[in-house]
Amino acid sequence: MSLKKTLVILNNEKVHFQDNSYYCENVDIKTTVEGLHNAFDVILIARQAKEKKFNKINLKKINRAYNVWSFIISLFKTYKYKDAKYLLISITPYTFFAYLFLLLFRKKIFVYLRSSGHEEYKVILGFWGPILYHFMFSLVTLKSTIIVCYKKLAKKKESHLVLPTQVDEHWLENRKESNLDGARLLYIGRMKVEKGIYSLLKIFENLNNNIKLSIVGHSDKPNIIQENVNYLDYVNNTNDLINIYDEHNIFILPSFTEAHPQVLYESLARLRPVIIFNEIKHVIKDQKGIFVSERNEQSLLKTIRFIMNDYKNIQNSIRKNIIPTKKNFINQMTDILS
């Protein structure tokens, strides 16, 4: 019998079951769940995915919901664990309804906010998006302990700050020299409108072919026919991912909204400068090696040239950064949940 206390994690993530194993799309969910399982008896409630996912979750207690009602039924089944704590990752319709039932039964609730839902819902749904999200946000944060990766996601005095990252000591070892014979930009992330990747592709239509862009995305390859854009498919092996960073000399994050993008720390860990756009300049914090561009061809080209012309000095400044690690993040979360 386990002496660990039960922690039920509820998330909008979709999980695929194959060959007696569970897989998810977001590696952050995988590492958070697995890391917390060292201190708690973790039960994950997520949505059922029809399509194949790539990140194997090393956890046995996973309940997959086919709709919001089966999501709630899976939640009710955990009520037999009298002292269980509940962690909601992100505020979505699924976790919102779960919160209402948790509140009704006076359960101990934690909410982990990883991004600005107000901004994301605006990009996705337009005018009504922030209104819908704010309604859910106001209720969910009313009677729960709030954990954030960016202080502005909740009131400063009412939240706990954590620094999520996938970086471990392996990322900081055997750093390779950059090939500077041309600008080789890298984007890693989802092919979503709010991630700004389509606006970036539009800019690349007018850039010189000597400036290359590689995209590491997911299995559904978009219809990209630009000569200076290369699609590398999805990568979930750490060594392969590190090699991809090393093969490029600039990382670019074109998102319209971000709170704490972990890819920035991965790029800086490999001593690769980063370009972002004005909408997310708040993510720089005290990190060296991150540069802000306007979202247009002329400004981006100017920023790229500046980085390439001063590359070694920029790398030396990046070496002074204190990179948060995955171990520190899990320890932060464990302390809060305990």
Please give the chain's pLDDT, 338 residues, in tens.
557 999 999 999 999 998 899 999 888 999 999 999 999 999 999 999 988 888 899 999 999 999 999 999 999 999 999 999 999 999 999 999 999 999 999 999 999 998 887 887 887 888 898 999 999 999 999 999 999 998 888 775 679 999 999 999 999 999 999 999 999 999 998 888 888 999 999 999 988 778 999 999 765 556 667 889 998 878 878 999 999 999 999 999 999 988 889 999 999 999 999 999 999 999 998 999 999 999 999 999 999 999 999 999 999 999 999 999 999 999 999 999 99
Closest by CA to 72, choosing from 106, 38, 47, 42, is: 47
- 101 DSSP 8-state letter: H
CA dihedral (34, 38, 39, 45) positive or negative: positive
Contacts of 315 (CB under 8 A, 6+ apart): 178, 271, 273, 289
Q: Where in the chain do CATH 3.40.50.2000 domains reside? A: 6-165+327-337, 169-318
Radius of gyration of the chain (CA): 21
Q: At the fourth CATH level, which superfamily is domain 6-165+327-337?
A: Glycogen Phosphorylase B; (3.40.50.2000)
3-state secondary structure of 260: coil
Only one residue has tokens 């690769």, namely 272
Class of domain 169-318 as given by CATH: alpha beta
